[in-house]
Amino acid sequence: MKRRSVAALFTLVLIGGLAAWPGTPALGASGGLVLHPSGFGPMSYSAWKAQQGEPDSSGNSSQALYFQKMTSTTTNAAGVAVIKGLEGMPASELTGLAWDHREDGHCGAGAPRWDVFVQDAAGRSYTVFLGCNAAQHTQLPDETSGYGWCHDTFDPQTAISAQTAGATGPLTISGLAIVFDEGNDIPNPPPAMCGQDQFQGGFVYLDNITVTADGVTHVWQDASDNGNGQTDVADPTGTNYVQGLLGLPVSVLNVQ
């Protein structure tokens, strides 16, 4: 995705009708939210990496969710993490999104970003973008990992309202994903209020990934924090698999 200005992130993207894609992984019997690290295209993926993150609340794996696009931004490729379990929920119930990003990684206007997919009462579908650099940033204390960390918080309700002007009736969530599609040809723009260890793009580590919905906050510190107990560090990659996860055409990610 080409680098976006803050104003561009508040541009409405009309997707059109939803499409049903076979093979979407089912939620575990325990319910809850499930994060699937994946991706598609050359040199691009996401996966949990041990000893790269902040300390975990249990165990000593110190995992972080790694995103990579080590190719040009114009290449049709992205690291993607799809979060399942919010489908069908009123969009008004999604009240908080956050993560910590490691300061040697990329925090651009458009990547990493939250993509919130919503549908209105008339069946029209929208992608709402919340890009890293436009978040509210808070510098975190130094960690023993040797890297600085920045806490990024997002206001999904403000973004949804701004980017769905003209929607009919109440909005329903149809999907949620984290997308990393700015390549190694785009340097890091320093986020306000946080440090930046280096300016080469193409990757980022995220930790303490947080979704607050229906009054419940779910935090991922490692792969074991999925609501169904899944502990795999990565799902398969590829366009068809990501479409299956989303239950939507991969074009809704607006990857460029």
**Under DSSP, is residue 216 helix (H, G, I), strand (E, B) or coil?**
strand
Residue 89, in any domain of the structure: yes
Q: What is the pTM of this model?
A: 0.88
Place of tokens 């260890």: 197
> Is residue 127 pLDDT above 80, yes or no?
yes
3-state DSSP call for residue 223?
helix
Q: Is residue 40 part of a domain?
A: yes
N-terminal to C-terminal alpha carbon distance within the chain: 4
Q: Does residue 231 lie within any of the structural domains?
A: yes
The DSSP line for 77-102 is -EEEEEEES-TTSBGGGEEEEEEEEE
Q: Is residue 124 part of a domain?
A: yes
**Above pLDDT 90, what percent of the chain?**
73
How many structural domains compose the chain? 1
Question: Domain range spanning residue 125?
Answer: 8-25+33-246
| Of 241, 238, 205, nearest in space to 222 by CA | 205
User: Does residue 190 form part of some domain?
Assistant: yes
DSSP conformational letter for 201 = -
The answer as to whether 175 is a domain residue is yes
**pLDDT tens digit string along 20-67?**
323 333 332 224 899 999 999 999 999 999 999 998 877 788 999 999
Pairing of strands 203-213, 216-220: antiparallel
The owner of tokens 């723009």 is: 189
The answer to whether residue 131 sits within a structural domain is yes
* Residue 199's pLDDT band (cuts 50, 70, 90): confident
Percent of the chain having pLDDT more than 70? Answer: 86
Burial class from Cβ neighbours inside 10 Å (0-12, 13-18, 19+) for residue 73 reads buried
Token pair belonging to 37: 């690290």
Give domain status of residue 119, yes or no: yes
